[in-house]
Amino acid sequence: MVRHIKDVMRNRQNRFLKYFRSRDDWMKNKKIISILPEGLTYQNGEGDQIFIDFEECRINFLKWLQKENERTDEEMKNLNEKTKCVAVRNAFEEPRYIEFFTEPRVRFEFEKSWIKDSYKEYRSLNTKIIEAGWKTFDLG
């Protein structure tokens, strides 16, 4: 009986450790370093710092919008003057995410967990983008 309990506890501990090793951080191995009006700097899983240029994302968003919605040249001109959108977001998808219009696209995912509030992390990133003077497009 004692041996059986030890095996059960060891099995639970292994599952627990496996769970946390698979979630090195809450954004799929991306860690945000800074968010400025010019863009966002993050560290990827390999330790490289990568910069996301918000103006480049805005231009790519306009291209995506035109392709998806068949906008006229006049509509696109008006949007070009007004839009500050740099990413799409979805709080109702699992996992929640914010995806920037980089080439290729960069997605920050926020998985549900009993330890961390993924919605709070998701909202925090979106709020910081807004505070930097930019917007995200809600898909949810």
DSSP 113: -
Residues 30 and 45: beta-carbon distance below 8 Å: yes
pLDDT band at 94 (very low <50, low <70, confident <90, very high): confident
| Residue whose C-alpha is closest to residue 58's, from 123, 138, 128, 137 | 137
pLDDT band at 27 (very low <50, low <70, confident <90, very high): low
What angle, rounded to 10 degrees, do the helices at 73-82 and 54-69 form? Answer: 150
DSSP 92: S
What digits encode the pLDDT tens for the residues 28-66? 668 899 999 999 999 988 889 999 999 999 999 988 888
The residues that bridge with 100 in the sheet, in sequence order, are 87, 106
Please tell me which residue, 27 or 106, carries the higher pLDDT value. 106
DSSP 66: H
| In the predicted structure, residue 12 carries a pLDDT above the cut 80 | no
Residues 57 and 101: beta-carbon distance below 8 Å: yes
Q: Is the pTM above the cut of 0.85?
A: no
Q: What is the mean pLDDT of the chain?
A: 80
